[in-house]
Amino acid sequence: MQRGKLDIGLISLILVNKCVDFVPTIGKTILGVYLTFYLGCTLREGIKKPFPLSEEQLEVIVKEEKDKLNMQEEVTLLVSEPLAAQSCKVDGRYFIELGGRARDRDTVRHELYHIYKRHVDKEFDPIRYFMLQEPQAIFYEYFNIKI
Ligand SMILES: [Zn+2]
């Protein structure tokens, strides 16, 4: 009996020690993979598009991409010259702002997905944004995967 308890105690101790070693490694690995993924996509974003689309082209794309997501929400498109890519909700209305080199279909898909998933309805939380909402939008933008 005593011996059994000692064994369980020892095994627990070893497991806890292993876990303590293991957790930071897993955390670092996840963070490393995430940062590589995020920076890779951001870098690709910066180098891929030499010709920003016009407002008329973007209006058509917003409609096409909304249909793909079966979205009923009214989304107002704001087009600017300086680089901009954001979606927001103001007074119950949804907006997408696209500017500079972000005036393309990929960015429309990305920003629409933030609206589709109701990310813009919530209070901004940097942890939730970088660890959940942004990867979701990037996965949809690049791989057409809804998560
Ligand atoms: Zn985003």
Instruction: Kindly write down the DSSP assignment for every residue of 59-113, as one continuous string.
Output: HHHHHHHHHHTT--S-EEEEEESS-EEEEEEETTEEEEEEEGGG-SHHHHHHHHH
Instruction: Answer yes or no: do 67 and 131 share one domain.
Output: yes
Instruction: Answer yes or no: do 37 and 88 share one domain.
Output: no
- Between the CA of 121 and the centroid of ligand 1 the distance, in Å, is 14
Predicted confidence (pLDDT) per residue in 43-53, tens digit: 666 666 567 89
- Inform me whether the pLDDT recorded for 1 exceeds 50: no
Q: For residue 32, how many other CB atoms are within 10 A of its CB?
A: 10
Predicted confidence (pLDDT) per residue in 116-130, tens digit: 999 999 999 999 999
What range defines the domain where residue 93 resides? 51-143
- Between the CA of 68 and the centroid of ligand 1 the distance, in Å, is 18
What total number of domains does the chain contain? 2
Instruction: Answer yes or no: do 64 and 27 share one domain.
Output: no
- Between the CA of 83 and the centroid of ligand 1 the distance, in Å, is 14
Query: What span, in angstroms and rounded, lies between the C-alpha atoms of 28 and 48?
Result: 30
- Is this prediction's pTM over 0.75? no
Instruction: Answer yes or no: do 5 and 73 share one domain.
Output: no
